[in-house]
Structure 1
Amino acid sequence: MAVGAGNFVRTCINGLNALSGVGLLTVPYALSEGGWVSLALLATVAAACWNTGILLSRCMDADDAIRTYPDIGERAFGRAGRLLVSGFIYAELYLVATGFLILEGDNLDKLFPGAAVSLGTVSLAGKQLFIVLGALAVTPTTWLRSLGVLAYVSATGVFASVVIVLSVLWAAAVDGVGFSGRGTTTPLRTTGLPTALGLYIFCYGGHPVFPTLYTSMKRKSQFRKMLVICFVLCTLNNGAMAVLGYLMYGDGVLSQVTLNLPAARLSSKVAIYTTLLTPFSKYALLVTPIAAAVEERIRGCVGEGAAVSVAVRTLLVLSTLVVALAVPFFADLMALVGSLLNAAVCMLLPCACYVRIFGPPPSISRWEAAAIGGILALGSLVAVTGTYSSVAKIIHQLI
């Protein structure tokens, strides 16, 4: 009994960690984009993603050989399904890793404004400088074959999320920021709803990890309960941060609420340094699956060995650095990830795989069919409108 309870608690912690990330920093901005009414959409997205997490577990029950999300895709749609699921997951990991470099650049520039370095004819200053430095700092961590230590550090994500919320609360209640809204707040802004939805979905992108959590549970019947706990706690944390940040800064809240905080205050420094730790500890964990896939593909051509692995991983970091410097817009990039990739991975693909494996109605119940139809409609809406809105904003800022 004690062993089972311990296993359940560990799985809950791992599930919370999978759902805890830098999306927490963007929810006040998402709320400002959609207005107060969009908080209902945060709860709707959480409920939909919880439901699709359950669908993934049921898909795994269909075949004992299924261990991962790509396995579910292959069971449903054959080799093409595996490639499709893997492609979406790798693209998501790549862009989130890129977002981490932008996040480092934004927050370090907040801490050390005016920093600049000149090397001959090359000059780097401010955000660009810190993006480059962030890439240099994380590169050696990607060379490690064993990521046990980094995995242990990244598991502090749950604790870090709570610390950030409490630090922002301290800045408002004790350090003098207050809850005046620094201007205005908006009940509803329909033009910003696509961006808000994309950022909300980005906060619930733990689905690639759910199959692993499911297989690790001794009592798989408790998976639904575990997901309920994880989604409720994360939604409360995300909702608290959204309301807190929006009350503090109103429509003037920036893409990351830490960028609004007064840099001289201790609470601000705690929030920002905690924010900086998360990308640094998780970057290698994100790019390693991509690097491993590339190494597997080129092994027959160039052989294998430490040198090949280091070269592949270094080039991968370099490519994310180039993208981060070219598109240094954190909120818009994460909204694109949420709208295009998370909407597919967390909403559309689980529903499609479930229906394909178990058959359309009447093979599944009327209520299940209605829920799946609603999730597919919501996911499709976000994928179309959110992707268009995010791409349009990125292009507008580039030109």
Structure 2
Amino acid sequence: MATVGSEERPLIEDSLHPTFSYNAIEEETDARSVRTAALKNTGNSTAPQTIFNGINTLIGIGILSLPLGMRYAGWIPGSVILLACALSTQYTAKLLAKCLQKNDELMTYGDIAQYCLGNVAHFIIVATFTVDLLSAGISMIVIFADSFNALTGVDKLVFKIIISFLFFLFSFLRLDILSHLSLLGILCTTLIVFSVIICGLFKTDGPGSLLHPSPTSLWPQDAQNLFLSLGIFMSPFGGHAIFPELYRDMVHPKKYNRSVSTIFGFTWSVDFAMAGLGYLMFGEAVLDEITKSIMVTPGFPQWINVVICALMGILPVSKGPLITRPIITMLDQYTSSKTTYNKLPSSVIRAINRFVIVLIFFITSLVFTDFGRIMSFLGSAICFAICIIYPLTFYLIIYYDELSVWKITATVISIIISVILAVCGTTAVALV
């Protein structure tokens, strides 16, 4: 253990777990989800503040694809799956706090991973969050292009170039300025939900009306559609990267479990309302974004298209630079250690790094053009891992000696089932 006042970080040592250093944790921070970065500098939070932060974390653009998930799954399986996603992720969010209680120096999701599994887990977590950020960034580009294409008829490629250019410009802004843009994005998401409800009540005939709903189905058309819905329903609950920090930031940690129940209960209510109302409005004709369905359906007032388009335009602009920032930071750190790059001015290196990352986002958005598929992939491949598989594994390793045989068995079975569902969901996306 380092002496007090030394420049070295203290090491956490435990006879049952691998030793890890805070130097490695600092590197992992750069690959963490943008939702984590948004909460890094918050002060000690009361239970209501924790609930507010948690809800803001979970309710995002994934909510727009939920009507498509209901269309894929049908009312009965869809309702059951959405509720199961909420309950299972709520449970694992509480397990993360229980893992933190094993050592007071554990602060983040990455800390827990390294405490349990060492450097290999650290690498896996970094890779997982990188894919998470890449998928989120692509979805922002796609949703921006889809919205303005539906409104103007101009080719989507033009808008993908525009939003990528804005990502590049805003990537030079300081994090404190970007945090204000993030709050603006949360407001836009809320207004979009209200806009959808208003549209459904305004239109008196289908499609797009809540007064005269479109035909819907109780069951999925086939197994592939059912598996596609898994990732879509899981994606809105992908906020586990920040829950360890929410727990550590609470003034009264004993209120954490009750706060988590409120967070997930409210989020599930809003998600189910959006999924159900959107499916009722458009039925089997609902598109991968509920807002796109509204914008291409005649009969709504012209101003609603303008409002939705503006909100959908602000949303990627406000969140995109935050999403790309952790990846850019990692690249900045990597290039700063290479003598080849050190021959260039730092400002030039930073500009090149940002251009390369945004170019990767842009090119990838040309390949993955379906918002529903992106959300399904994000939910299947990433959220199942971050929100269920990893937390259950951490809990099993840390508390193995204290768990009963049936608890261990149930946890292992849950991990296996989650892996199978993640693979099935990801495979279904690849086969579309």
Structure 2 CA distance, aligned partners of 1:131 and 1:281?
Answer: 15
Is 1:171 aligned to residue 199 of structure 2?
yes
Instruction: Judge conservation of contact 1:48–1:375 (CA < 8 Å) in 2.
Output: no
Of 79, 90, 93, which aligns to 2:130?
90
Of 109, 113, 117, which aligns to 1:69?
109
Per the alignment, residue 37 of structure 2 pairs with: none
1:87–1:24 Cα change, 3 Å:
same
Per the alignment, residue 321 of structure 2 pairs with: 284
User: Displacement of 1:67 after TM fit?
Assistant: 1.8
Structure 1 CA distance, aligned partners of 2:44 and 2:378?
Answer: 35
1:20–1:306 Cα change, 3 Å:
farther
Listed as ranges, the matches of 1:176-187 within 5 Å are: 176=204, 177-179=208-210, 180-187=212-219
Letter in 1 for 2:88: A
Q: Secondary structure at the match of 1:143?
A: coil
User: Displacement of 1:378 after TM fit?
Assistant: 3.9
349-358 vs 168-177, greater mean Cα deviation = 168-177
Task: Find the structure with the greater CA-based Rg.
Answer: 2
1:189–1:5 Cα change, 3 Å:
farther
Listed as ranges, the matches of 1:305-316 within 5 Å are: 305-316=346-357
Per the alignment, residue 158 of structure 2 pairs with: 129
1:42-93 alpha-carbon deviations (Å, 9 max, x no partner): 0101111111111111112222222221111100001111111121111111
Per the alignment, residue 319 of structure 1 pairs with: 360
User: Displacement of 1:159 after TM fit?
Assistant: 3.7
Of 187, 209, 216, which aligns to 2:242?
209
Letter in 2 for 1:188: P
**Superposition TM-score, scaled by structure 1 size:** 0.88
1:228-277 alpha-carbon deviations (Å, 9 max, x no partner): 11111111111001010100000110000111114653334333322332
Of 224, 241, 257, which aligns to 2:290?
257
Listed as ranges, the matches of 1:221-260 within 5 Å are: 221-260=254-293
Listed as ranges, the matches of 1:28-43 within 5 Å are: 28-37=67-76, 38-43=78-83
1:75–1:243 Cα change, 3 Å:
same
Structure 1 CA distance, aligned partners of 2:290 and 2:135?
Answer: 20
1:196-254 alpha-carbon deviations (Å, 9 max, x no partner): 11111111110111122222112111221221111111111110010101000001100
**Superposition TM-score, scaled by structure 2 size:** 0.82
Structure 2 CA distance, aligned partners of 1:225 and 1:149?
Answer: 33
Instruction: Judge conservation of contact 2:286–2:293 (CA < 8 Å) in 1.
Output: yes
Listed as ranges, the matches of 1:268-279 within 5 Å are: 268-279=305-316
Structure 2 CA distance, aligned partners of 1:112 and 1:48?
Answer: 42
Instruction: Judge conservation of contact 1:26–1:255 (CA < 8 Å) in 2.
Output: yes
Per the alignment, residue 363 of structure 1 pairs with: 402
Instruction: Judge conservation of contact 2:189–2:315 (CA < 8 Å) in 1.
Output: no
User: Displacement of 1:315 after TM fit?
Assistant: 1.0
Per the alignment, residue 188 of structure 2 pairs with: 160
User: Displacement of 1:374 after TM fit?
Assistant: 5.4
310-319 vs 247-256, greater mean Cα deviation = 310-319
Listed as ranges, the matches of 1:192-207 within 5 Å are: 192-207=225-240
User: Displacement of 1:186 after TM fit?
Assistant: 4.1
Per the alignment, residue 64 of structure 2 pairs with: 25
Letter in 2 for 1:278: L
Letter in 2 for 1:254: L
Structure 2 CA distance, aligned partners of 1:224 and 1:368?
Answer: 20
1:6–1:296 Cα change, 3 Å:
closer
Structure 1 CA distance, aligned partners of 2:199 and 2:126?
Answer: 41
Of 369, 381, 399, which aligns to 1:340?
381
Letter in 2 for 1:103: I
1:62–1:168 Cα change, 3 Å:
same
What is the alpha-carbon root mean square deviation over aligned residues? 2.1
250-259 vs 203-212, greater mean Cα deviation = 203-212
User: Displacement of 1:183 after TM fit?
Assistant: 4.4
Instruction: Judge conservation of contact 2:44–2:251 (CA < 8 Å) in 1.
Output: no
1:99-148 alpha-carbon deviations (Å, 9 max, x no partner): 110111111111111x2xxxxxxxxxx1121111111122111122x221
Structure 2 CA distance, aligned partners of 1:392 and 1:197?
Answer: 15
Instruction: Judge conservation of contact 2:151–2:295 (CA < 8 Å) in 1.
Output: no
Per the alignment, residue 24 of structure 2 pairs with: none
User: Displacement of 1:309 after TM fit?
Assistant: 2.3
Structure 2 CA distance, aligned partners of 1:184 and 1:206?
Answer: 31
Q: Percent identity?
A: 24
Structure 2 CA distance, aligned partners of 1:262 and 1:282?
Answer: 22
Instruction: Judge conservation of contact 1:183–1:252 (CA < 8 Å) in 2.
Output: no
Q: Secondary structure at the match of 2:403?
A: coil
Letter in 2 for 1:47: L
1:17–1:367 Cα change, 3 Å:
farther
Give ranges in structure 2 of 5+ residues lacking alignment: 1-42
Letter in 2 for 1:86: V
1:235–1:211 Cα change, 3 Å:
same
User: Displacement of 1:389 after TM fit?
Assistant: 0.4
Instruction: Judge conservation of contact 2:45–2:249 (CA < 8 Å) in 1.
Output: no
Structure 2 CA distance, aligned partners of 1:247 and 1:237?
Answer: 15
1:322-344 alpha-carbon deviations (Å, 9 max, x no partner): 00012211111221111111111
Q: Secondary structure at the match of 1:155?
A: helix
Aligned residues: 376
User: Displacement of 1:184 after TM fit?
Assistant: 4.1
